[in-house]
Structure 1
Amino acid sequence: MNKAVNSFRLFLSIFSGEDDYIIRRCSIGIQISFALIGLFVILIFIGCFVSAYEFSSSLFENRLYVSIPIGIVWAMMVTNMYLLLLYTVCPQILPTKENPIKQTNSFFSASMFFRISFITLLAIIIAQPLNVKLLSSTVKSSLNKHIVEEKVKMIIVSDSILIKKEVEIFNDFNKYLISKGSNDEIEKAKQNILRIDQKVKEDIAFMKHSKSLLDTLQKMDSKVWLNKKEKTKKDSVVHVLHSLVDNEIASDNHFVNQIDNIQIKNSLLQQEFAKCQIGLKKAIHDKIDNYNNLDYLLSKTNFFIKRIQLLLSENPYSWVINSMIVLLFLLPIYFKYKIRDKTMFYEKKKKIEHQIIVDEYITFKRAYSNLLQKNIAMYNFKSLQELNLLLDKIKKINIERYRTLKNEIQEEYKEEIISKYEYWADSPYRTKRKVIKSIQNTEFNLLELIYQAQNESEDK
């Protein structure tokens, strides 16, 4: 049982934003602290997945093969960014040239402020799909009002163009009627087209009245905040506009069925009136098609962003969920920061990382020296081959001179151990330059330099 608990604790510690290798070598108390942070990180991953899944489901009409991959990718991306931020919360444990190691206990700093602000913004964004999933039913009536308002606005805008077209077509026929017909024919024709004239006048009156109310509504929408009285007035304006639009839709549907029954007996005017009928029917049919297309569009739209706006403005529980998600994101950062005050974790981490760096630097210097010696040995071998050819010529002329030169060359080309020159006093951190002391021409300074170098070599 204890083994399973220990394994689970160490598994959670992997997600804490710290090196699992170091955590395993710490006390049980430190491991529990990092396991708690890891548990919060896992909860953040699950929350991010659910949030992204809900958003993509609403966007792609509940297609699982799209929503699930998007949720996983988003959750992994956010969690990785969060783990990176958690790792940066640890104090400075290795020296740098600009800043020597200094321990700071202040949680409130400019760097921490910007990091917390970014995480808070990310948490609020992630919380919104969860708000919509859990609390969307509480703003259903407000959402329906918004849908009605948007529908009314779009219908009025689209109808304004088509009603202008109706008026132009009917006015053109009236002008033709006046120019071609006699007074009796004009009177008879006007009696026959009385229903069309009435419809056009109704549409003009609808446009004037609805545009006036729409201007009033737009002025209200331009305000950042509406009081209770203004909200009631806005609802009343929307209700009147909705009634006007419904009457207009009913009028269009009724008129399009009647227009074919309207006839003019005068054969001279029949052809022009037929063109007028066709133009009016097309304009009315276009209006009806707009109504149907708009209804279909609104039925397929879930108004996701508007739901979020309504929840934040009307439902206080949405802010409770926001606060809980933000707290979920911020608590691990605070816990990670407080570990430095309550435990010796970072002292242990400093020793381990320092030893790793020193060991790696020693390995590097050894490899550097071996590589340099190997290259020099290859160079010496090639040089000796060329010199031996010349020595063979000297040997034939002067054997003694040959022996002397050969000994000198062998002495010059003998193998030596080559070490990397340390330019810095505290390699490999490279924060302090070596101080090169000038040699004074006195016996005391010479002895001091010799004994100092001897002591340094003994210390090493």
Structure 2
Amino acid sequence: MKLKKFFWTLSGDDKNVIAKCNKSTRSRFTGIGVLVAVIFSLCFVSCFLAFTGLLQNLWIGIIIGLFFAWMITNIYLFLLYTLSKTGFPYIPNKTARFISVSIRLIFIAFISIIVSKPIESLIFSKPLAQDIEVFKQEKIKRYTQLTNSYLDKEISEYQKLLTGSNDEFYLRLIEDRKEKKLTLTSSMERLVSKSNYYIQGIIILNKKYPVSWAITVFILILFIIPTYLKIFIHKDSIFYKTKHYVESHLVKYEYELFKEKYNEIFNHKYGLDLHFDEHYSDAPFNTKRKKNKRELLKEDDLLDSLYA
């Protein structure tokens, strides 16, 4: 039972309300909680792989991975919570509701794609390692060709200037350029060999291995399933009836406290006979404005009062 309550907490809703629901609803929220736990694990693995690959430090990867996994999961839970149906009175607007839900789902899809890519890199690590090695060799080859081309031109110019007393000076310049070619090439080889080209690996993965997008779709579905389970809980279910009763009672209770405090401040502290004025009949939800029952006179009545 404790494990179920833990998963109910992970679902982003009140576990005490969920406990009052029927078996099918409790099972639904248990499933949501399990999926959120899986999503947190995927976020941690993804962030750990990403930051370890970028920073090349295991401990930093673990610490930052845990932090970002916690942060992403909390954002996801917040989005999941906002998909719950409200029990408060409101003016319905289907278009606004559709746009609002669509934006949240698109954001969830974006998060799932970001989380998916480092995991895909791990799954395709062997072929990617070979592709990155080929990329490194091509990079070194291009750099070597450009360096040699540039310095060979200088050496050629110095060789043309080998005349008389200046021979020793130009010979030193030629030797210096030859040594510079070797130094620059070896320095580039060291830099390339140290780098794991993590971002380049993801680029290669997306271009060369389209099958990796199947993993993206799978993780996207994992992220979407809890939203589906949450959205399609019926608004007349025990869960929503209980949830809406608790929330409405809490809001009304706090509203009454506010009015009492308001009246107390003006009546006792300042000695003014003032009371909080409500302009809506369903305060504090404020969807039904009170009708103005004041009798408004005409312009002729104003003139009669002025010149009477």
TM-score class normalised by the smaller sequence: 0.7 to 0.9
Q: Return the TM-score normalized by structure 2.
A: 0.86
Q: Helix, strand or coil for the counterpart of 2:106?
A: helix
Other-structure match for 2:305: none
Structure 1 runs (4+) deviating above 4 angstroms are none
The answer to whether the 8 A contact 1:136-1:307 is kept is: no
| Normalised TM-score (structure 1) | 0.59
Deviation at 1:316, TM superposition (A): 4.7
1:292 aligns to 2:286 (yes or no)? no
Identity %: 28
| Residue of 266, 276, 298 corresponding to 1:420 | 276
Q: CA deviation at 1:419?
A: 4.8
User: Structure 2: how far apart are the matches of 1:70 and 1:28?
Assistant: 39
TM-superposition CA deviations, 1:160-195 (whole Å, max 9, x none): 22112101111111xx3xxxxxxxxxxxxxxxxxxx
Return closer, same or farther for 1:438/1:305 CA change in 2, 3 Å cut-off: closer
Q: 1:127-164 deviations in whole A, cap 9, x for unaligned?
A: 11111122110234433332222112111222222112
**What SS class does the counterpart of residue 429 from structure 1 fall into?**
coil
Deviation at 1:346, TM superposition (A): 1.8
Q: 1:312 aligns with which of 183, 206, 210?
A: 206
What number of residue pairs does the alignment pair up? 295
Determine if the alignment matches structure 1 residue 39 to structure 2 residue 28. no
Match of 1:303 among 176, 179, 197: 197
5+ long unaligned stretches in structure 1:
1-5, 177-268, 380-415, 441-460
Match for residue 26 of structure 1? 21
Instruction: State how far apart, in whole Å, the 1-side matches of 2:277 and 2:208 are.
Output: 71
What is the distance in 2 between the residues matched to 1:114 and 1:424? 31
13 and 68 in structure 1: CA distance in 2 versus 1, 3 angstrom threshold: same
Query: Quick one: distance in 1 between partners of 2:9 and 2:75?
Result: 15
SS in 1 for 2:37: helix
Look up the match of 1:187. Answer: none
Aligned 1:305-384 pairs, distance under 5 A: 305-340=199-234, 343-376=237-270
2-side partners of 1:427 and 1:307: how far apart? 58
- Match for residue 71 of structure 2? 77
C-alpha contact 2:80 2:230 (8 A) present in aligned 1: yes
Within 5 Å, give how 1:212-291 maps onto structure 2.
269=164, 271-291=165-185
1:139 partnered with 2:143: no
Distance 2:209 2:28 in 1: 36
SS of the residue corresponding to residue 340 of structure 1 reads coil
User: Measured at CA, do residues 145 and 285 of structure 1 come closer, stay the same or move farther in structure 2, by a change above 3 Å?
Assistant: same
> d(CA) in 2 for partners of 1:352 and 1:372?
31
Give how far 1:92 is off: 3.2
| Distance in structure 2 (CA, Å) of the matches to 1:439 and 1:166 | 101
Shift of 1:296: 0.3
Matched, 1:67 2:51: no
In structure 2, distance between residues paired with 1:162 and 1:439 = 96
Cα 1:374–1:21 change in 2 (3 A) is farther
Is 1:432 equivalent to 2:288 in the alignment? yes
Q: For the residues of structure 1 that align with 2:54 and 2:276, how far apart are their CA atoms? A: 62
In the TM superposition, what is the alpha-carbon distance from 1:341 to its structure 2 partner?
6.1
**Contact 1:16–1:41 (CA under 8 A) maintained in structure 2:** yes
Secondary structure in 2 matching 1:339: coil
Q: Is the Cα–Cα contact under 8 Å of residues 52 and 70 in structure 1 kept in the other structure?
A: yes
Name the aligned partner's letter for residue 159 of structure 2: F
Contact 1:48 1:75 in 2 (8 A): yes
Assess, with a 3 A threshold, how the Cα gap between structure 1 residues 118 and 437 changes in structure 2: closer, same or farther.
closer
Residue in structure 2 matched with residue 382 of structure 1 by the alignment = none
Q: Does 1:149 align with 2:43?
A: no
Q: Secondary structure at the match of 2:119?
A: helix
Alignment match, 2:117: 128
Deviates more, 1:77-86 or 1:24-33: 24-33
In structure 2, relative to structure 1, the CA distance for the partners of 1:310 and 1:336 (3 Å cut) is same
> For 1:337-371, what per-residue CA distance to the aligned partner results, in whole angstroms no more than 9, with x for missing partners?
11236833223222221111111222222222333
Give the conservation status (yes or no) of the 8 Å contact 1:16–1:38: yes
Give distance in 2, aligned partners of 1:143 and 1:422.
69
Q: Cα gap change, 1:424/1:114 in structure 2, threshold over 3 Å: closer, same or farther?
A: closer
The higher radius of gyration belongs to 1
Aligned 8 A contact 1:48 1:78 in 2 = yes
